[in-house]
Amino acid sequence: MTLAELFDVAIRAVDAEAAEQLLSIAQGQSGPFVWPDSSIYDPESHTTYYTMSDYLAAALPNLPALSLHRPWAFWVAANLKRIETRSHNRFRGLSGQRIAVHAAQQWDDSAFRIAAPYLDPTLLAQEHELRRSTGGLILCTALVADARLLTPDDSAAALIECRTPRYGLVLTDIVPLPVPIPARGKQGIWRLR
């Protein structure tokens, strides 16, 4: 990953201030940005970051986060699921905000059956591989562009039929993190810090 690509991810996934901080930490490096074998010391904050995951966890502002069962969270991070559905509209206050998407430890056994009409058959063949993946990770951030009652036309973006009354968070500008961040999830809206 080049420094420019890392900067782009940081500015989109986190915010401009954190991206500037990352850029200042990485100054002096030329060519591809490689996380050093030991650590990076940020003299401004007097903090040592041992991994990129540590840096991203510290750089993420107080974002609201949602935990999604696996594999739904993986599909959001892969930009396959662009609407997160709920049976209630309690999350409508997230509209216009950037959120963190957390892959919970819990696996939804019905997910592949529910999403099958909307997924490419090659993706359906990946169920066993995804089941072996780890939960408990922040995978991406996304902008909640809208929170609304869904229509049947939203089914493909939600990976679930939307004839049944459902509310949805319409996700745009989905930015997968270059390194997932370990985090203990919670139900409802929670904060990374």
Q: Report pLDDT for 31.
A: 45
Question: What is 64-191's CATH number, 2.30.130.30, 3.30.70.60, 3.90.1150.10, 3.40.50.1860?
Answer: 2.30.130.30
**Spatial separation of the C-alpha atoms in residues 176 and 9, rounded to whole Å:** 8
Q: Report pLDDT for 42.
A: 63
Residue-by-residue DSSP string for 142-176: EEEEEEEE--GGGHHHHTS--SS--EEEEEEEEEE
**Domain boundaries in the chain?**
3-59, 64-191
Q: Report pLDDT for 9.
A: 60
Q: What is the mean pLDDT of the chain?
A: 81
Q: Which residue has the higher pLDDT, 33 or 96?
A: 96
The answer to whether the CB of 115 falls within 8 A of the CB of 126 is no
What confidence tens digit (pLDDT) does each residue in 147-182 have? 999 999 999 999 999 999 999 999 998 988 877 888
